[in-house]
Amino acid sequence: MTYSDKVKASAEIYNYIQGMGKVVGKERFDFTYGDSVFTFECWNFKEDAKNILSVDMKEAYFTRSMNVDKVTKTAIHLYAFDMFNQRTTYKLPIYEMEMA
């Protein structure tokens, strides 16, 4: 799959994410990646403030959440810190996600 194919396959979800956070409050949508269901959340606490983005695993017994570092046209870059302050990162390809 070429880069332009990945951009085209990612366009719907990417544009949806870019449109989130225009109003104060919380927006979310569910998506599947592999065999798991996740929730993408966008928090906006006041107008003209930077949005807080996160991805949560829906079916987890304990909270499994990662913060969004950045969103590119083909991927969502995630990070989390464990209890030893060790940073873990993951690059979630948008073109492999399906909105639920």
2-14 average pLDDT score:
96
Q: Smallest Cα–Cα separation from 67: which of 75, 76, 1?
A: 76
Estimate to the nearest angstrom the gap between the alpha carbon of 60 and the chain centroid. 17
3-state secondary structure 76-100: EEEEEECCCCCEEEEEEEHHHEEEC
Would residue 69 be called left, alpha or beta, if left means φ above 0 and alpha means ψ between -120 and 50 degrees? alpha
Q: What is the mean pLDDT of the chain?
A: 90
Q: Which residues pair with 92 in a beta bridge?
A: 76
The whole-number pLDDT of residue 17 equals 93
Question: Does the pLDDT of residue 3 top 80, yes or no?
Answer: yes
> pLDDT of 29-60, one tens digit each?
999 999 989 999 999 887 777 889 999 987 76
The whole-number pLDDT of residue 60 equals 63
Torsions phi, psi for 71 (to 5 deg): -120, 120
Q: State the pTM of this model.
A: 0.88
| Residue of 49 and 96 predicted with greater confidence | 96
Parent domain of 86: 3-99
Q: How many domains does the chain have?
A: 1
